[in-house]
Structure 1
Amino acid sequence: MKAGSTSLRFRLLVGTLVWVAATVGIAGWVLQSMFEQQLSRQFDNELSMHLAQLAAHLETDAGGNPVLARPLSDPRLERPYSGLYWQVERMAPDNSGVIALRSRSLWDAQLPVPADRLADGERHTHRVSGPDGEALRMLEQVMQPAEGPDQSWRLIVAADERLLAEPVARFRTLLIGALALLALGLMVAAAFQVVAGLRPLKRLREELSLLRDGRRTTLSEDHPSEIEPVVDELNAVLSRNADFVTRARHQAGNLAHAVKTPLAVMANAAAEADGPFAELVHNQVIAARQQIDRHLALARVAAAAQDKGLRCQVAPVIEGLVRVMQRVHPERSFTFTPGETAREMLFRGEAQDLQEMLGNLLDNAGKWACSQIRIAISADAEQLHLDIDDDGPGIPVDRRAALLQRGQRGDEKVAGAGLGLAIVSELATLYQGQLELLDAPGGGLRARLKLPLAR
């Protein structure tokens, strides 16, 4: 992956997971707020109910003192420090109050009451400290009994806010667990959806890999509708490039034949004449033919190197060349004994190009070997290694790089196959291969030709 680039799968997953996390978090906050508000309203309604019940059960005795006709229904009011309390005060003209009655849950404590003024029937809500220092939510109301309209009683009901906070905390714990499980399920579903959604791209990549390796010439049309336009365009580009290559090769061949005819006429005319001019024309015609052959070979190899579907067996090509070279160089011994694995190896290219490259190397080895030329085949994961060893004088290390460069002349470049070492190197490079000149293990020169291996 290039530096700075980001996987599409990574982008989709991160975007989806962030959105899921944010949505679930907001939903959790909203649900908790709604539950807390509902519980708070229920808490306040319960206080109002207790206050109304206290007012309904409150009566005046013969002495004008408030008494309860019957106890309130909630049993917590009878349990000391239970968290639910009530208190009744007789109001003085200065708005101070004297406790007249209180719930058993207060025991010997009393509820602190803010010094505020209330109209008859008006209610106020306060937050005060309870008997154990706990926070209480208090609801108060002033009422005037019918038996003594000149009197005012302050009715107070209070409850511990922990009765509200504890259910909220339990709900929050359950909600976090449920939402975490929901978020995990959504994230797994999102990951599965992203992987399943991008699977056609993986299949397209595999088909492109097969196309690159020459195991197919076009992409299949069985793709999702979103990818079909891209596949169609790629197939159109491949078809057009194939047409361009074919047309260019035909035009190059036609041009070569058109030029070779006048060159042949000039060569015949020069052969029938004598003198320096005739010799000059003859030499230039030979040079022009060599240039035409060279460029035709390069053009053909350049086109063949783009066609990944070409392949040929290497061993039969070498065996045919060995038979030819034994007739050309009868005084030399050519040895080629491939094993079963080597015999099955395939070159990803045209057999004619392989013949031209190996023919040149074998001819050079035949010219400079003392007696033996050995040919061996091996391969790594991606390339064929064709080693041609001779027992001749070899080539000095400082001259090897120059002999592989275009324009350098030497006896090794007198090509029996019509090509020099520099051209062999260029042809191998066009096939994304390489020609190396090394020392042979037994002395002499090793020409190692590296070419693409067909799978």
Structure 2
Amino acid sequence: MRANSLAFRLFASAAAWTLVVLPVTAFLLVSLYRQALERNFDARLNVYLTSLVASSTEEGAPTPTDPADFGQPIFGIPFSGWYWQIKPLGKGTRPDFISDSLLDQQLNLPSANGIEPDASLTRRAHIDGPNRQRLRIVEREIRPSGANSPPYSYAVAGDSSEIDRDLAAFTTMLIAALAVAGLGLVAATFFQVRFGLSPLRAIRERLAAIRSGEAEKLEGELPLEIKPLQQELNALIQSNREIVERARTHVGNLAHALKTPLSVISNEARTQSDTLSTKVIEQAEIMRSQITHHLDRARVAARSNAIGEVTDVGAVLRALKRTLDRIYEERGLTLELDAAPGLKFQGERQDFEEMVGNLLDNACKWARSNVRASAERDASAGQFTVTVDDDGPGLNQAERARIGKRGQRLDETKPGSGLGLSIVADLVHLYKGRFALEPSPQGGLRARLELPAA
């Protein structure tokens, strides 16, 4: 899955959303659970506070009495974390009664810290208790015998580490559960994206089949959302074929329309033996050569972007070898081939034959005894390279620069029109490839083609 792919974007956005939502959900759930724990803890403290008031208040008595043990042994264990205290309201006064668990210490009351009571006239707070315990305390103002009696502070405190322990256990389980859920969501998103985009992968594979010549159009059932795309692509492919066919027809008609009058002119001129006739024949041949050259370029330009044209590289090289072996049989040349198996050219066979045939023929003309041709795939660039080496005299840098120009020949004793390498260069350019002449390791000239692979 590549970073700039649609699948990656969908997967990354879903994964990012999951990574944002799950922590926020965890935070909200932990906060709600803490509030629930504190409410339950406060309710428990309120029960103890109510029991404390009931145990220490006698009807008509203006002051509280010692509640002693009001049914909760935990308040008798020193520094157990559970404490109660009854104290007259007023600064500097000591409590009248405290739980045995407090020994000789006092509780830091919420009323002394300016905390206001709630609707139930109860003050609630977190305080530091004995032995640095973190306590949750509830405090209420009570007048034992009515409005005329002095007010007393009744307070009960409990170790809030219970809340922290329960909250920590809940948080651990919640994180584990959300982590599993998150991984499940990410995995489900991955498979959902893969499944949802599978029709696009199918289209890519079918387009590759069309480009490689294995199919003529996009076939098969696709989702309704992609069906219009399939129809438009098929229409585009058909339109491309029709345009190419019309271009071929026009090129053929033009070739016939131009070459026929030239043939008539040449034939008429050959019936005469004067200087003018010779000049007419010469110029007519030049015109014929130029027309052929430019019509070939137009023909290739029409075909080079055609969809579905594929050529077997090895088959063409072997066919050219058989032809050249017969042509240069008397010279005893050795023509070696080395083509990667399954290598295919993204273009028409005739064009590939013309490019490689010109290079091999040129190498055979100049070679002393050996010509070697190889074809290798460059997978990273979607191309392949054809290399033709000979052991002839070779060319220097200036000669290599000049030989590629149309009509340029370095040795008039060799047969040819001087158009071969320029035609190769034109064809390579039309196929968006590269053509270069270099010194050969065999001592002669190396011609190298880089062409699109199917």
Query: How many Å apart are 1:45 and its aligned residue?
Result: 1.6
Give yes or no for the alignment of 1:253 onto 2:249.
no
Q: 1:287: which partner in 2?
A: 286
User: Any idea what SS the aligned residue of 2:278 has?
Assistant: helix
Matches within 5 A, 1:44-443: 44-60=42-58, 66-67=64-65, 71-89=69-87, 99-113=95-109, 114=111, 122-125=121-124, 128-136=127-135, 137-145=137-145, 150=149, 153-307=152-306, 308-312=308-312, 313-314=315-316, 315-323=318-326, 325-326=327-328, 332-336=331-335, 349-357=347-355, 360=358, 364=362, 374-382=370-378, 383=384, 385=386, 387=388, 389=390, 394-411=394-411, 416=416, 419-431=419-431, 432=433, 434=435, 436=437, 438-439=439-440, 441=442
User: Any idea what SS the aligned residue of 2:70 has?
Assistant: coil
User: Any idea what SS the aligned residue of 2:426 has?
Assistant: helix
Q: Distance in 1 between matches of 2:28 and 2:242?
A: 64
Would the alpha carbon gap of residues 346 and 208 (structure 1) be closer, same or farther in structure 2, given more than 3 Å must change?
Answer: closer
Q: Distance in 2 between matches of 1:440 and 1:132?
A: 91
TM-score (structure 2 length as normaliser): 0.79
Assess if the C-alpha contact under 8 Å between 1:142 and 1:155 holds in 2.
yes
Query: How many Å apart are 1:255 and its aligned residue?
Result: 0.7
Q: Which structure 2 residue ranges, 5 or more long, are not aligned?
A: 379-383
1:298 maps to a residue whose letter is R
> What is the aligned-residue identity percentage?
35
2:102 maps to a residue whose letter is L
Q: How many residues align?
A: 438
User: Any idea what SS the aligned residue of 1:67 has?
Assistant: coil
Query: How many Å apart are 1:82 and its aligned residue?
Result: 1.7
2:19 maps to a residue whose letter is A
**2:13 aligned to 7, 12, 15, which one?**
15
Query: How many Å apart are 1:199 and its aligned residue?
Result: 3.8
Give yes or no for the alignment of 1:40 onto 2:41.
no
Query: How many Å apart are 1:256 and its aligned residue?
Result: 0.7
User: Any idea what SS the aligned residue of 2:80 has?
Assistant: coil
Assess if the C-alpha contact under 8 Å between 1:319 and 1:336 holds in 2.
no
Assess if the C-alpha contact under 8 Å between 2:83 and 2:99 holds in 1.
yes
Query: How many Å apart are 1:438 and its aligned residue?
Result: 4.1
Q: 1:28: which partner in 2?
A: 26
> How large is the RMSD of aligned CA atoms in angstroms?
4.0
Would the alpha carbon gap of residues 395 and 413 (structure 1) be closer, same or farther in structure 2, given more than 3 Å must change?
Answer: farther
Assess if the C-alpha contact under 8 Å between 2:62 and 2:149 holds in 1.
no
Assess if the C-alpha contact under 8 Å between 1:364 and 1:416 holds in 2.
no
User: Any idea what SS the aligned residue of 2:74 has?
Assistant: helix
- Which one has a bigger Cα radius of gyration? 1
Q: 2:381: which partner in 1?
A: none
Assess if the C-alpha contact under 8 Å between 1:143 and 1:152 holds in 2.
yes
Deviating more after overlay: 18-27 vs 415-424? 415-424
Would the alpha carbon gap of residues 321 and 451 (structure 1) be closer, same or farther in structure 2, given more than 3 Å must change?
Answer: farther
Q: Distance in 2 between matches of 1:402 and 1:293?
A: 22
Assess if the C-alpha contact under 8 Å between 1:336 and 1:376 holds in 2.
yes
1:320 maps to a residue whose letter is T
Q: Distance in 1 between matches of 2:207 and 2:152?
A: 91
Q: Distance in 2 between matches of 1:359 and 1:108?
A: 111
2:320 maps to a residue whose letter is V
